[in-house]
Structures are given as structure tokens and as C-alpha cells.
Amino acid sequence: MPMSKKQLRQWRERMDAIIQNRDWGALFQLEDTGDFALCLDSLIWTLAGPDNAPPQVHTHRVLFLCIQVEDCVQCDSLLNFFDEGFAAYGREAEKALEEIGAPRSAAALRQVLSALPEGGYPAGDWDACKALYGGAFGQILEQADSTLVDYPDGPMRDLYYAYAQAHREDFP
């Protein structure tokens, strides 16, 4: 049954309060994995380092990288993961996906990373990026996008929830 306007407003206020107050305790009291993932996405960014570098704590870092992969794919394409400066963390993101229990997603990312030229992703070089995307890399990237957008390992929100709950001691 859909929420009433009042219920929706109350829900929104609750989610906003958790995010604005950086209330990790309230986050971990959420039982709905969708609500948890919504708040986690915002809160994990508060732990990022300078220039949006992944957080230092391993558990935070794993979730941060997995969320970035998912957000990029669901918003447009895995290509955004590279364009937004996360290319240097590609292999680490692959391992992070494995660690949270997303082996099919990790395999899709691995294929893309393996198709990159020896020098890596040519960030900032539009012509090189365009040429790279127009070749075999582009086809592999499109296949990975098609795979990842359909959540091959199940809903990521469930994986984030289970992983974070299992590592609760690592959070403020």
C-alpha cells in the first residue's frame, strides 16, 4: 500500500535527519535495506578523503567503491566510474565487489579493466577516450553495463546491509 503524504513526509524527515546529523547509530537501526542504502550512500561520502579519495578504513572503502560502481552504472554507464576519477581504484573496486558478495559484478568489472590499454584509462584526453570507447573496449564496456544494470548478484542494497552489519564495529 502506498504511503500517505503525511507518511511520506515523515519518512523523508527521518532519512534527512540521519544524513544531516551523520547519525550512524540511527542508520544501523534501519531494518529496510533500501532505506539503509539510501542513507549509507550519503553518509559514506562524509568519510571520503581529499579529492573524493576512498576512505582509509577498509570496510568504509569497500562500501564506498561498490557504491560508486553501482551509482555510475545505474545513472548512466560504468564509463562514468573512470571519467569521475575512480579509474585508479578499478582493481580495488573489483576486489570490493567480491568481498561484499557480488562475484558476477566483479567479473563484469574485471573484463572492462582487462580491456583497458596498458597505460590505463586516458582520463582527461577526450580524443583517446573517444577512440578507446569506439573499439573493443567500448563493446566490452557496453556488455558490462548491460550485466551490471540488472544486478546479477541480487540487489546491492541487500549486500551493503549485510556487509555493513557484519562489520558494524568499524563504523562511528
pLDDT digits (tens, 9 = 90+) for 107-135: 999 999 999 988 889 888 889 888 888 88
Q: What are the residues whose beta carbons fall under 8 Å from the beta carbon of 10, sequence distance 6 or more?
A: none
| Nine-digit cell string for 8 | 511520506
Angstrom distance (rounded) from CA 55 to CA 108: 24
Q: Label residue 100 exposed, middle or buried (CB < 10 Å: 0-12, 13-18, 19+).
A: buried
Please give the DSSP secondary-structure letter assigned to residue 155.
-
* Per-residue pLDDT at 22 exceeds 80: yes
Q: Answer whether 0.75 is exceeded by the pTM.
A: yes
Which of 62, 129, 130 has its CA nearest to residue 99?
62
Where do the H-state alpha helices sit in 21-135?
24-29, 33-45, 58-75, 79-81, 90-100, 103-115, 126-134
Give the model's confidence band at 30: pLDDT under 50 very low, under 70 low, under 90 confident, else very high: very high
Max Cα distance, the chain (Å): 55
Give the model's confidence band at 136: pLDDT under 50 very low, under 70 low, under 90 confident, else very high: very high
pLDDT digits (tens, 9 = 90+) for 36-83: 999 999 999 999 999 889 999 999 999 999 999 999 999 999 999 998
